[in-house]
Structure 1
Amino acid sequence: MSATTHRGHWWLPGLPDDVTTGHLVVDDSGRCTLELIGSLDLRAAALLEHAGDAAAKAVQQERVRVVHGLVRGQPVTLLNCFAGHTDGFSHRDRSRVDLHVQDALIGAHVEPDEPAFRSALVEIENLTGWIGVEEQVHRTSDKEEGATLSRLEDLVAEVDGWTITARRTPQPFQVDASHGRTEVRSHVAAYLVVRAPEPRPAHDYHSVVLELMDLLTLASGRASGQISLTLIHRDDQVTPDRDGSALKYETRVETFGGRIHTAAPDKTGPLDWEFRFRGRDHSFEDVIPAWIRLRRQVADACNVFFGPQYARPTFTEARLLLVAIVAEALSAGLDGINPVTDRTTYRARLRALASKPDADAVATIIPDVEAWALDLHHARNTLAHTGNDDAGRDIFELEWRTSSLLALVFMTEIGMSAEVQRRAASSVLKLPWS
């Protein structure tokens, strides 16, 4: 695995005179490690940040919320750092300390909760395929080998003061000549502009990006990870122009950090028919706010549902137990029920959940709802109590049907039509051998 190394000088806010050299190493997955030559006084930093018992715990864990640096004249902020390997700790000037970094912001010095960013540019896997290129790519005719690429208006949605804009950018045709052939090529790519109603901290943008990732994961049926995230600082940079006037341009801050799922933008994506739904199935201005509000309404259910889709595959028993938990949490969240105090039975909640999508779409993936609810109820109880379901039922099939139903429920709640639901149920949500 290759990595990028940023050599610079590093210090802790509040201790500006305590500067040491080191390398910030960013690997292909985005994970960041600060390898210090000499050490920073992490204990003093913890005492500056905390008080009482919290300070003692922070000291023990060697944790610091923020480290500032300077790399080739460019400011860098490292957030949520934990000490890892140390060497020669008793000789501070000659010691080496590795800090594991949750988020690296290259381009600005900020504090963890500082409302420093007015917008963000984000690329997410499967976004271009979800939006589609049908309106942008035009073949000249059946008799001629040719195509044209057009530029389209931005797609814009608003939710709770935030503006989400999708931009589709066709690249000019390029000609590459080799000894054997000449290749003419181009491509279309899409990215999102996320703009807050007022400047916000970096972590607020991470939250919105995760919500958008989940939407594309739901739509494509595949983990859709963050490819890149660039934050736009609230303050522009100003430089003098040749004529003496002031030239302003955006302060762009590149972000890096480890993620559960590492994006692979060059990997082959899903074909048109493999999407459960696409951007053309419902207007962008409607589906984005509908999804974000739903995602926040049933956050616990979504966290459990989408988490395993980004992580490495696990045992079918674990997946089945998780989707059984999601089914209950989603039913309660959508109906405004407190699952602790409400006396509705688990099977009744499952039946209510199955009644929400289009009936024909549900029948395609779950022919007998009552039998499915009974099987899932029993499987949940046996897995939760014994860790093993020995009833002889096909738990892979049960997990598949339940996950497909949950996808249909999410699609229903964001306004996907019965036709779209039926198409998804008959093409990609039903059991492969049914």
Structure 2
Amino acid sequence: MSKPLLNESRVWRGHWWPPGEQDVAMPGTLTYRPDKGLTLELIGGWDTKVWEEVRPGVFETSDSEDSRRWPVLHGLAENREITLLDCLPTHTASRNFGPPDEQTIHVLTVLSGIHVDTADQALFTECHVAVEDLTMWSQSSVISGSLRTKEGRRNGTGYIVTEPVEDPSTIVNGVVTSLVHEHTLPHVENTRGGSVGRMRETRFVRFQPSEPWSLQIAQEHAKMVQDLLSLALNRPCGLLWTRLRMPPEERDYPEGYPIRDREIDLYAQQIVPAEPSAKAVRNRHALFTCEHLPFEEVWPRWCEVREQCLRAADMILGLRYAPARFIEGRLLTATGAAEVLHRALGKVSPPIPADEFSAMRRTLLEHTPDKYRTWVRQKLRNEVTLKDRLRDLAKLPDSEAMGHLVPDVECWATVTTQARNDLTHEGHTRRQSIDEVIVAVKVTSAVVVMNLLEALGVPSERQREIIRDHPELCHTAQQAHDYLASKPSPREPV
């Protein structure tokens, strides 16, 4: 069965109704557009107002926003059950105070192939997720080919073959997670204009939990795959498709009838548009692949790192998924990610030992006038400064790699801290040029990424290769030398 590519628009024409109210089903069209999400356009519609009896025999409508949405709607289109989740009417038209003539409803999520009554039902026994460049990142393929030569020159012959490869698998928290491949058999298509030979391979991650999942858990794991690829390839990677599975319907089947699990396709608006037909990322543009960290090793580590550093990872990857339009926003996000990551890693003790700080705080408060005591109590904090956190983050990954990326740690930490503080307190970076701020943001983001790679266990040799050979990080390191390194003072003339 073909996969529901999320970069392609879809249209379902059918009938739609609230759960348990099929007698009020309305004809309409459900449309999915990758850039706009899901919209249901009904011929007719349902009253969005809630009537309340304010006194005996007298009713008034409520303007509560909660009355203008449906958590779940059901539909039947193309002889397939469809569930619509988080439905909000955006347009309702009627004449002469009668029932709606037409209605437009914005839908957040669609499950094609099932009717569910609530979004939190634990139904799904498998979840399959495909993300851009997953095949390249896996560094393994069933397809191989070669051109033959004779006396050092191509002789017009060659071959393409398929050879089975083992799908790596690992178990994390009772969930069997596998990097699965699918491929078509060799096929020759003869046309009036000639012949074309075709083979296609794709990779996806398959989750097989020990207990059925809800939709939310499945979506969280799909996001984990997307985030891992976006970090590893240093670019936003879009979801290609997500497919869920559940046991077959409980009904009588004819003897010998092939019984298969039910397949449910998941549709939702994507922040990152997928381009499955675009050329794959080149190896040198990837920070790491399964060649550097095998899938069965990197996935358990990613689960641990993401749980420990979720907020920092979300913030730094957010700069790729939905980059801020202004450098000020990028500065606050990058420094915020660095601070949150350092706090999550827990690598530094407070500046003053806790017992000494408590004694000092108590003594200061005893000698503080009553009217200032609250202010002093709020200001006394035994916290590591942003500057200290940046210094420390620069020490954690491979020292040689970080020496190239941040040649002058003190200068970078000072410029970045001053820029963040000035922006926060005064609304502009008065002590740094725009070029210095841009480079500070790029270097800080790179330092956060390198610390995530270190936490994942990316080898030191690979970290050095990244800073030396990766086009973007190599350029960032060069800019750090130009803008964030102390210049020697010119000599006084003799």
Q: 1:216 to 1:2 in 2, by over 3 A?
A: closer
In structure 2, what is the Cα distance between the partners aligned to 1:320 and 1:158?
38
Match of 1:196 among 209, 212, 220: 209
**Structure-2 residue corresponding to 1:117:** 124
3-state SS of the aligned residue for 2:14?
Answer: strand
**Structure-2 residue corresponding to 1:374:** 414
Out of 337-346 and 20-29, give the one that drifted further. 337-346
**Structure-2 residue corresponding to 1:349:** 389
Contact 2:142 2:201 in 1 (8 A): no
Tell me the alpha carbon deviations over residues 93-127 of structure 1, each in whole angstroms, 9 at most, x when there is no partner: 45211111110001001121111111111110111
In structure 2, what is the Cα distance between the partners aligned to 1:180 and 1:70?
42
In structure 1, what is the Cα distance between the partners aligned to 2:250 and 2:262?
6
3-state SS of the aligned residue for 1:116?
Answer: coil
In structure 2, what is the Cα distance between the partners aligned to 1:307 and 1:262?
14
Q: 1:145 to 1:132 in 2, by over 3 A?
A: same
Offset at 1:238? 5.9
How do 1:353-364 and structure 2 match up within 5 A?
353-364=393-404
Q: Which one-letter code corresponds to 1:258 in the other structure?
A: Q
Match of 2:469 among 406, 427, 432: 427
Out of 297-306 and 325-334, give the one that drifted further. 297-306
Tell me the alpha carbon deviations over residues 123-150 of structure 1, each in whole angstroms, 9 at most, x when there is no partner: 1011111112467525375545223221
**Structure-1 residue corresponding to 2:275:** 264
| Structure 1 residue runs without a partner (length 5+) | 46-54
Q: Does 1:139 align with 2:162?
A: no
In structure 2, what is the Cα distance between the partners aligned to 1:422 and 1:114?
47
**Structure-2 residue corresponding to 1:294:** 305
Q: Which one-letter code corresponds to 1:23 in the other structure?
A: T
3-state SS of the aligned residue for 2:441?
Answer: helix
Offset at 1:302? 1.6
3-state SS of the aligned residue for 2:206?
Answer: strand
Q: 1:324 to 1:432 in 2, by over 3 A?
A: closer
**Structure-1 residue corresponding to 2:484:** none
Tell me the alpha carbon deviations over residues 21-77 of structure 1, each in whole angstroms, 9 at most, x when there is no partner: 2111112447110111111244569xxxxxxxxx974435x1221111111331110
How do 1:44-63 and structure 2 match up within 5 A?
57-59=64-66, 62-63=68-69
Q: TM-score, normalised by structure 2?
A: 0.79
Contact 1:323 1:399 in 2 (8 A): yes
Q: 1:44 to 1:206 in 2, by over 3 A?
A: farther
Contact 2:10 2:32 in 1 (8 A): yes
Tell me the alpha carbon deviations over residues 127-175 of structure 1, each in whole angstroms, 9 at most, x when there is no partner: 1111124675253755452232212111112211222211123333333
**Structure-1 residue corresponding to 2:446:** 404
Contact 1:25 1:33 in 2 (8 A): yes
Offset at 1:188? 2.7
Q: Which one-letter code corresponds to 2:388 in the other structure?
A: A
In structure 2, what is the Cα distance between the partners aligned to 1:247 and 1:172?
23
Q: 1:89 to 1:415 in 2, by over 3 A?
A: farther
Q: 1:416 to 1:307 in 2, by over 3 A?
A: same
Q: Which one-letter code corresponds to 2:91 in the other structure?
A: H
Offset at 1:343? 1.1
Q: 1:59 to 1:14 in 2, by over 3 A?
A: farther
Q: Which one-letter code corresponds to 1:353 in the other structure?
A: L
Q: Which one-letter code corresponds to 1:380 in the other structure?
A: R
3-state SS of the aligned residue for 2:335?
Answer: helix
Asked which structure has the greater CA Rg, the reply is: 2
3-state SS of the aligned residue for 2:259?
Answer: strand
In structure 2, what is the Cα distance between the partners aligned to 1:181 and 1:9?
45
Tell me the alpha carbon deviations over residues 274-294 of structure 1, each in whole angstroms, 9 at most, x when there is no partner: 101011111211110111221
Give the total of aligned pairs: 422
| Structure 2 residue runs without a partner (length 5+) | 1-6, 52-61, 151-156, 351-377, 479-494
Contact 1:77 1:109 in 2 (8 A): yes
Q: Which one-letter code corresponds to 1:346 in the other structure?
A: L
Contact 2:248 2:259 in 1 (8 A): no
Q: Which one-letter code corresponds to 2:13 in the other structure?
A: R
**Structure-2 residue corresponding to 1:50:** none
How do 1:69-80 and structure 2 match up within 5 A?
69-80=75-86
Q: Which one-letter code corresponds to 1:409 in the other structure?
A: N
How do 1:178-327 and structure 2 match up within 5 A?
182-236=195-249, 240-241=253-254, 244-311=255-322, 314-327=325-338
In structure 1, what is the Cα distance between the partners aligned to 2:249 and 2:147?
44
Q: 1:2 to 1:283 in 2, by over 3 A?
A: closer
Q: Which one-letter code corresponds to 2:297 in the other structure?
A: D
Contact 1:238 1:247 in 2 (8 A): no
Q: Which one-letter code corresponds to 1:430 in the other structure?
A: C
Contact 2:142 2:164 in 1 (8 A): no
Q: Which one-letter code corresponds to 2:465 in the other structure?
A: R
How do 1:145-164 and structure 2 match up within 5 A?
145-164=158-177
Kindly report the root-mean-square deviation, in angstroms, between the aligned alpha carbons of the 2 structures.
2.7
In structure 2, what is the Cα distance between the partners aligned to 1:293 and 1:89?
58
How do 1:86-97 and structure 2 match up within 5 A?
86-88=92-94, 91-97=97-103
Q: 1:134 to 1:422 in 2, by over 3 A?
A: farther
In structure 2, what is the Cα distance between the partners aligned to 1:230 and 1:42?
33
Q: Which one-letter code corresponds to 2:39 in the other structure?
A: T
Percent of aligned pairs sharing the same letter? 27
In structure 1, what is the Cα distance between the partners aligned to 2:247 and 2:403?
52
Tell me the alpha carbon deviations over residues 234-258 of structure 1, each in whole angstroms, 9 at most, x when there is no partner: 44576734xx334311100111111
In structure 1, what is the Cα distance between the partners aligned to 2:349 and 2:83?
42
In structure 2, what is the Cα distance between the partners aligned to 1:262 and 1:212?
16
Q: 1:28 to 1:348 in 2, by over 3 A?
A: closer
Q: TM-score, normalised by structure 1?
A: 0.89
In structure 2, what is the Cα distance between the partners aligned to 1:68 and 1:338?
55
Q: Does 1:413 align with 2:413?
A: no
In structure 2, what is the Cα distance between the partners aligned to 1:421 and 1:56?
58
Q: 1:34 to 1:91 in 2, by over 3 A?
A: farther
Match of 1:170 among 177, 183, 202: 183
